[in-house]
Structure 1
Amino acid sequence: MRDSVEILICGAGAAGLTLAIDLARRGIAFRLIEKLPSPFQGSRGKGIQPRSLEVFEDLGLLDRAMATGGVYPPVRKYAADGSFVDEEMVGADHPPTPAEPYRLPLMVPQFLTETLMRERLLELGSAVEFGVELTGFATTDTGVEATVRSERGDEVIRARYLIGCDGGRSFVRGALGIDFPGKTLGVRAIVADVILEGLSRDVWHRFDGGDGKQLSICPLAGSELFQIQGPIPLEGDIDLSAEGLTRRVVEATGREDIVLRSVSWASAYTMNARLADRYRDGRVFLAGDAAHIHPPTGGQGLNTSLQDAYNLGWKLSAVLRGAPGSLLDTYEAERRPIAAGMLGLSTRLLEGFKKGDNRRGREVQQLDLDYAESPLSFVSDAASHLAPGNRAPDANVRGAGGGATRLFHLFRGTHWTLLVSGSASFAPRAGMHIHRIGPGLEFDDHLGQFAAFYGVPDRAAMLIRPDGYVAGVLAAAQAEALQAYLDRVLPAGT
């Protein structure tokens, strides 16, 4: 049996689900396959960083995630003698601002995050196909012919593009022969989701029993579970049963009142930092852990993965609808340097963690990541507070009808956005929304936030990409240049 779709996504973790949601809302025909027979039930990743929360808002996931998860609790650090000190999470004293409405990471166990994403995908008319494994594929000038196996037998799927979101041991990456250089970081650890008694849920408990007997026990928001993390010897079998983990807890804490009742998921793993040599081979792309794997410090892996997919989705859709194929070259050009930077950050944080330094700065929020060197940057002489490739900040404005709104609400969806300062004229274009901001216009900058955050000169405009980054600033005289630029990124004839 043969089936034809535009996109075949292999792997239904955070990257695959993000890509599927984005394609579904754009009306792109795809299949999302996952070789596991049922959804992943662990909390390997539990932190949604502020920039990813902005992505969730655009995808219609934010409020559900907020209602499901919770803020990170203070950290309680225990000394070997049982004494402790409590420390607030870094950034807890920095409230949201109009430009940055989400300033703290949200804790949501990975299995709950992915549940919310599958529900959103179902609302959009699609679903994950579990128990379907990619066993081989061949590429042509026009597409990919993939063989998959399930309980129904073998099936051939023809697709225009194949996206490998199939994790650190990616079958897709291996089949392409793409190198995955990096290093093993000399740290092996356990992570386990458990039901336990003897610890409160209002703090993140961190024990330092000396002699490498560190242990972290964190209450997982949105569940009854605690997550246990800690280093283990580089070699040897590890008992991950409730009894074995209870013994480990007693050794690290010196307390026998902490008792594990059950283990819902557990893993022993070696930390690595690796980055694929390239993200594309013709009609096949890599995203998420298939392209990069991180140590868990700083909570960057899952967030970098879903933002890969958020970057790739709109570009695939545009090309499938007639935009120049060269647009897809910008995916690796933009995302691979980001992953390299995040790998460096996670590795540096791991070295600090080994020395007992758990401090996290603004850099983990991913709000300052940009595509400054992107080939999609529009070159202009018009000045502003923002440069091409910068994240477009939020701001409050008031509509001519009297209702208040936010720029993020204007950005939400699958379109490009042109914010015009004043009444300058720019020709409309399918796939681009134009909003004029100024006294007596569509939106009034009544609080001065647009002027403060964007600094667009009068009668100039700022072009915002579908993924919320600045493409460039255009003077009123560059109306024709804008149309030429849009020919590069929008389907022909729109």
Structure 2
Amino acid sequence: MHDRTTSDVLICGAGAAGLTLAIELARRDVAFRIIDRMETPFAGSRGKGIQPRTQEVFEDMGILDRVVAAGGLYPRQRRYQADGSYVEADMAQAQPPTPAEPYHLPLMIPQFLTERIMRDRLGELGHEVEFGRTLLDFEQGPDGVSAHLAGMDGEETVQVRYLVGADGGRSLVRKALGVDFPGKTLGVHALVADVLLSGLDRDAWHQFNDGDMERMVAICPLAGTELFQIQAPVPRDAPADLSAAGLNALIAARTGRADIRVQSVSWASEYQMNARLAERYRVERAFLVGDAAHVHPPTGGQGLNTSVQDAVNLGWKLAAALGGAADALLDSYEAERRPVAEAVLGLSTRLLDAQKQGGMRRGREVSQLDIGYPDSPLAKELPERRAGIRAGDRAPDAPVYGAAGQPSRLFHLFQGTHWTLLAYEASFAPPAPRPRLRIHHIGPDGDVADAWGHVREAYGLAPGECVLVRPDGYVGATFDADRAGELAPYLAHVGLLPFSREQRGCALTAGAEHAC
């Protein structure tokens, strides 16, 4: 056994949540390691839906175009009747994009492709996953965490400032912390399999015996691959046969068709549907994200998306705490994200109940565009607003023009690891220059022009009002320009401190935005 002290953060688990957190820390030059007990990356499609809010997150991370190119839109649902006829319907209610909400349709991409794109992005940022490395145990102290790891090269002890459990529903980190995981099983045992298959077109999500939990089977073409995904409830009293022969027998029995044939199985799993929520997301210097904190039934395509947004929320806060922000900032992670997961569990369970009745329909609620943090300790209004954008809301997009005449979008101004202050037709003395805070004046004499009025429409701002947007795309604070001075304690709390003399010297020497 040997000791190494090389990192501020240790991430245990390299699924979508762990990879998102790793990318967010890498973008902020935080020293970290990300490990996974598996020898090779996950090869399945368990999470295949990317909701509109997560598409916005992926745009900020610089991977949305790659995800769209690697996947595609959901096909129409084709529900077969007993006589072989069928009816078709769109998977989600079609809504056109708007200036404030540029993405309205869910994307389909199998999880293994999403995670591959994320690993590629992580590699561009100079990091990689350590596969085949397991967390054995850990101890917390006042200044950090001592973690014991094992890999092919033996065991080691690593000293880190923070530990993050992104290690799934059976999380070792959660169990070691003694955090309860209450909830319930939902009475559905199911299989999911990625297969090569013949006999069905790739232009529809084929659904047989919808609503019959003993005979239902759904077969969906996986965008970006030659594979189909099979989903079916199965009896709990005997292991399912996940071989090609076993899946063929199941399909034939439930569809009455002999022409649908599985040639090979790429990946398969059977599982019990659960709805569970960790009682705590933080214990001292250890945190839970993703499935380690909450598990959902797959209905509604919420699990992976909620996990990604957990990690984005925690990522900037960890970096801020390591940079000198108040430790209490980290408590806002649980305060913001646990109520979201609780609501998502309710939504997924309601959709599962609807599916059991053969009537599931996905509406706007699955897009996650309306999720916000109005009750967060980080939501501040000076004075309290009665209309328009509120602290804690998702910050809308809007097309704008730069003063030089080039078209842009608010999302382009937000993109990156910084905070953004929008001053709407406001003349005020801005805060002292702070790393990671960018200020834009919107108006005839500003650097940004609201040429079409979409900023005014989306934000409901009057002249002299300002909005402070967090790095994760939510409104942290709203304030009148003449009260900007009252914002100083808030800025200090979230780690937006003025340049120190040492930082100025470091920045001049290194010539890089995140050098210090």
What TM-score does the superposition give when structure 1 sets the normalisation length? Answer: 0.98
The structure-2 alpha-carbon separation of the partners of 1:211 and 1:320, relative to structure 1 and needing over 3 Å to count, comes to: closer
Aligned to 2:66: 64
Q: Secondary structure at the match of 1:115?
A: helix
**1:391-406 map, 5 Å:** 391-406=394-409
What one-letter code is carried by the residue in structure 1 that aligns with 2:486?
A
Cα distance in 2 for partners of 1:400, 1:277 equals 50
What one-letter code is carried by the residue in structure 1 that aligns with 2:362?
R
Aligned to 2:245: 243
What one-letter code is carried by the residue in structure 1 that aligns with 2:58?
F
Q: Secondary structure at the match of 1:343?
A: helix
Q: CA deviation at 1:396?
A: 0.4
Cα distance in 2 for partners of 1:405, 1:492 equals 29
Cα distance in 2 for partners of 1:430, 1:201 equals 50
Provide, for residues 244-291 of structure 1, a one-character-per-residue CA deviation record: whole Å limited to 9, x for no partner: 000101111110001100000011111000000100110100000000
Q: Do residues 337 (structure 1) and 345 (structure 2) align? A: no
Q: Do residues 415 (structure 1) and 418 (structure 2) align? A: yes
Aligned to 1:150: 151
Q: Is the 8 A contact 2:17 2:289 kept in 1?
A: yes
Q: Do residues 461 (structure 1) and 466 (structure 2) align? A: yes
Aligned to 1:390: 393
Q: Is the 8 A contact 2:422 2:468 kept in 1?
A: yes
Q: Secondary structure at the match of 1:462?
A: strand
What do you get for the CA RMSD once the two structures are aligned? Answer: 1.1
**1:282-431 map, 5 Å:** 282-381=284-383, 383=385, 384-425=387-428, 426-427=430-431, 428-431=433-436
Q: CA deviation at 1:89?
A: 2.2
Cα distance in 1 for partners of 2:383, 2:284 equals 36
Q: Is the 8 A contact 1:91 1:103 kept in 2?
A: no
Cα distance in 1 for partners of 2:384, 2:281 equals 34
Q: Secondary structure at the match of 1:375?
A: coil
Cα distance in 2 for partners of 1:347, 1:3 equals 44
Q: CA deviation at 1:492?
A: 4.3
Structure 1 moving runs of 4+ over 4 Å: none
Aligned to 1:122: 123
Cα distance in 1 for partners of 2:496, 2:374 equals 24
Cα distance in 1 for partners of 2:391, 2:384 equals 11
Provide, for residues 149-193 of structure 1, a one-character-per-residue CA deviation record: whole Å limited to 9, x for no partner: 001010111100000000000000011111000000000001000
Aligned to 1:136: 137
- Structure 2 residue corresponding to 1:39, chosen from 38, 41, 60: 41
Q: CA deviation at 1:63?
A: 0.4
Q: Is the 8 A contact 1:382 1:475 kept in 2?
A: no
Moved more, 157-166 or 230-239: 230-239
Provide, for residues 312-363 of structure 1, a one-character-per-residue CA deviation record: whole Å limited to 9, x for no partner: 0000000101111110010000000000000000000000000101201100
Aligned to 1:202: 203
Q: CA deviation at 1:479?
A: 1.6
- Structure 2 residue corresponding to 1:451, chosen from 447, 451, 456: 456
Q: Is the 8 A contact 2:434 2:497 kept in 1?
A: no
Q: Do residues 477 (structure 1) and 496 (structure 2) align? A: no
Q: CA deviation at 1:91?
A: 2.1
What one-letter code is carried by the residue in structure 1 that aligns with 2:142?
D
Q: CA deviation at 1:493?
A: 4.3
Q: Secondary structure at the match of 2:21?
A: helix
Cα distance in 1 for partners of 2:483, 2:405 equals 32
The structure-2 alpha-carbon separation of the partners of 1:214 and 1:476, relative to structure 1 and needing over 3 Å to count, comes to: same
Cα distance in 2 for partners of 1:360, 1:493 equals 46
Cα distance in 1 for partners of 2:259, 2:484 equals 71
Q: Secondary structure at the match of 1:289?
A: helix
Q: Is the 8 A contact 2:434 2:496 kept in 1?
A: no
Cα distance in 2 for partners of 1:424, 1:434 equals 12
**1:163-178 map, 5 Å:** 163-178=164-179
Cα distance in 2 for partners of 1:423, 1:373 equals 27
Q: Do residues 433 (structure 1) and 438 (structure 2) align? A: yes
Q: Secondary structure at the match of 1:332?
A: helix
- Mark the runs of 5 or more structure 1 residues left unpaired by the alignment: none
Q: CA deviation at 1:119?
A: 0.2
What one-letter code is carried by the residue in structure 2 that aligns with 1:379?
E
What one-letter code is carried by the residue in structure 1 that aligns with 2:302?
Q
Moved more, 425-434 or 146-155: 425-434
Q: CA deviation at 1:382?
A: 5.9
Q: Is the 8 A contact 2:435 2:497 kept in 1?
A: no
Q: Secondary structure at the match of 1:379?
A: strand
Q: Do residues 486 (structure 1) and 476 (structure 2) align? A: no
What TM-score does the superposition give when structure 2 sets the normalisation length? Answer: 0.94
Cα distance in 2 for partners of 1:172, 1:381 equals 42
Moved more, 31-40 or 201-210: 201-210
Q: Do residues 263 (structure 1) and 265 (structure 2) align? A: yes
Cα distance in 2 for partners of 1:43, 1:277 equals 28
Cα distance in 1 for partners of 2:374, 2:190 equals 36
Q: Is the 8 A contact 2:420 2:469 kept in 1?
A: yes
Q: Secondary structure at the match of 1:269?
A: strand
Cα distance in 1 for partners of 2:437, 2:38 equals 39
Aligned to 1:113: 114
Q: CA deviation at 1:491?
A: 5.1
Cα distance in 2 for partners of 1:290, 1:492 equals 33
Aligned to 1:162: 163
Cα distance in 2 for partners of 1:492, 1:405 equals 29
Q: Do residues 223 (structure 1) and 228 (structure 2) align? A: no
Q: % of aligned pairs identical?
A: 58
Number of residue pairs the alignment of both structures matches: 493
Q: CA deviation at 1:237?
A: 1.6
